[in-house]
Amino acid sequence: MNEIKDDIYWMNKAIEQALKAQEIGEIPVGAVLVVDNKIIAKGWNHSIIDNDPTAHAEIIALRKGGKHLKNYRLLDATLYITLEPCVMCAGAIVHSRIKRVVYGASDIKTGAAGSFIDILQHPGMNHKVEITSGILGEQCSMLLSQFFKKRRAEKKQLKQQRSATLTVKSE
């Protein structure tokens, strides 16, 4: 396979992880860590259900990958992520010495792979990570958009129910 076909294949695997997050009410972000054309670790967001701000898909995949390789250095690994990594995840990626990051959707508010800030290739960092962006980006963006649209609708409905309950009680 060529690199683009490989990237699409592995990003589809990351999307499968994002769907697992969505099924449990988490923001649908998924990640897979690939070495020698094999998945060595997977992750999806767990921040909400674990009450853990560090339980991002990337962090979970990095932790599992380190255990799998019995090394915190994940040399020659490629991390596929459905959403551009945040600053926390980008720092962990640099520290782990990941060779390459491939992500789907950009995040202009908090993306740390070039959209908001570029931690992965910052000149002051002692390790630079190769970046490929936009692989299945539309599909990854759509997952996130649909999730937040549904969440806003649920909050609106809850607010309306509370308002109706207060109106009934005051009458």
Strands 100-105, 130-133: pairing is: parallel
> Which of helix, strand or coil describes residue 35?
strand
* Whether 58 is catalytic: yes
> Which of helix, strand or coil describes residue 40?
strand
In a domain, 113, yes or no: yes
Query: How many of the other CB atoms lie within 10 Å of CB of 61?
Result: 29
In a domain, 153, yes or no: yes
- Residue 139: what pLDDT? 97
Q: Which residues are annotated as a binding site?
A: 56, 86, 89
The distance of Cα 58 from the centroid of its chain, to the nearest Å, equals 6
CATH number at residue 148: 3.40.140.10
In a domain, 81, yes or no: yes
Give the CA dihedral 132, 130, 114, 104, nearest 10 degrees: 30
For the chain, the domain total comes to: 1
- Residue 167: what pLDDT? 65
- Residue 47: what pLDDT? 96
In a domain, 2, yes or no: no
In a domain, 1, yes or no: no
Q: Which residues of 125-150 are buried (b: 16+ CB within 10 A; e: fewer)?
A: eeeebebbbbbbbeebbebbeebeee
The distance of Cα 100 from the centroid of its chain, to the nearest Å, equals 15
Domain that holds residue 37: 7-169
Task: Choose, from 16, 23, 26, 58, the residue flagged as catalytic.
Answer: 58
In a domain, 31, yes or no: yes
> Does residue 8 contact residue 103 with C-beta atoms inside 8 Å?
no
Q: Which residues are annotated as a binding site for Zn(2+)?
A: 56, 86, 89
> Does residue 93 contact residue 125 with C-beta atoms inside 8 Å?
no
- Residue 1: what pLDDT? 54
In a domain, 83, yes or no: yes
**One digit per residue, pLDDT tens: the chain, 171 residues?**
578 899 999 999 999 999 999 999 999 999 999 999 999 999 999 999 999 999 999 999 999 999 999 999 999 999 999 999 999 999 999 999 999 999 999 999 999 999 999 999 999 999 999 999 999 999 999 999 999 998 888 888 887 777 767 666 666
In a domain, 141, yes or no: yes
